Amino acid sequence: MVVVAVALGGLLWASTREGAEYYKYVDEVLADPGRYQGKRLRVHGDVVEGSLESDKASLRYRFKIASRAPRRPAVISAEFHGIPPDTFKAGAEVIAAGVLASDGHLLADKIETKCPSKYEAK
């Protein structure tokens, strides 16, 4: 029984370690960026108006993510390489998943956007 319990515990620990991600808001990440450097994060906020730069030929996007009210104001830079969702634009609510680089910006490999207009009454 002990061997089986240890084996199952080890398997569970090994499988969750690789796939674990922190889900944080921008202000939480910037409060202690050293804690999250090099770790997988999902950062929630809004794409800052005027910050979105794209190179469609290389599929590289640079933008800033701001915290949402009522959270403390904070802004983090992010970079994404790939095809973003159709609703990805300035002002959109986003969750960017990736790794926090040593210089404090997010290297995102996945972007999700929220579309509140789908759920608002007409």
CATH code where residue 95 lies: 2.40.50.140
- How many Å apart are CA 71 and CA 50, to the nearest integer? 21
- Residue 47 falls within a domain, yes or no? yes
pLDDT, residue 4, reads 83
Site of tokens 């009522």: 70
Site of tokens 């409060």: 31
pLDDT, residue 13, reads 64
Residue by residue, pLDDT tens for the chain (122 residues) are 888 888 877 776 665 555 567 899 999 999 999 999 988 999 999 999 999 999 988 999 999 999 988 999 999 999 999 999 989 999 999 999 999 999 999 999 999 998 765 555 55
- Residue 67 has a CB neighbour count (10 Å cut-off) of 21
- Residue 42 falls within a domain, yes or no? yes
- Residue 63 falls within a domain, yes or no? yes
| DSSP code, position 72 | P
- How many Å apart are CA 75 and CA 20, to the nearest integer? 24
- Residue 4 falls within a domain, yes or no? no
